[in-house]
Amino acid sequence: MGLIAWIIFGALAGWVASKLAGRDDQMGCLMNIVVGVIGAFVGGAVVSLFSGGFSIGFNLTSFVVAVVGAVAFLAILNLLFRRR
């Protein structure tokens, strides 16, 4: 995928993940993109470890993996930077 497609894909995945994690009011558009791209990378790496390979593309499976990876990334961030 091209750079623009990764940004759009990351923005969508990050936005959905922030909605699911209940952090949408704390995140802006740029943070959604960053979380989505990192989530796609982490989720893709984990899936490829367990399945032996993973096709990269703009499809529903990749989107679900990116959202799950982004939610996991947000959960880790919540654990590290928990407000008391």
In this prediction, residue 21 carries a pLDDT of 83
pLDDT by residue, tens only, the chain of 84 residues:
577 877 888 888 888 988 888 776 677 788 888 888 888 888 888 888 887 766 666 778 888 888 998 898 888 888 887 765
Cα angle 8-23-43, degrees, rounded to a multiple of 5: 50
Amino acid at 55: S
pLDDT at 4: 83
Output the pLDDT for position 54: 60
Structural domain boundaries in the chain: 3-80
Structure confidence at residue 61 (pLDDT) = 81
Lookup: tokens for 35: 């979380």
> Residue 39 corresponds to which tokens in the numbers above?
């989530």
Q: At what angle do helices 60-80 and 29-51 cross, to 10 degrees?
A: 110
E strands in 1-84: none
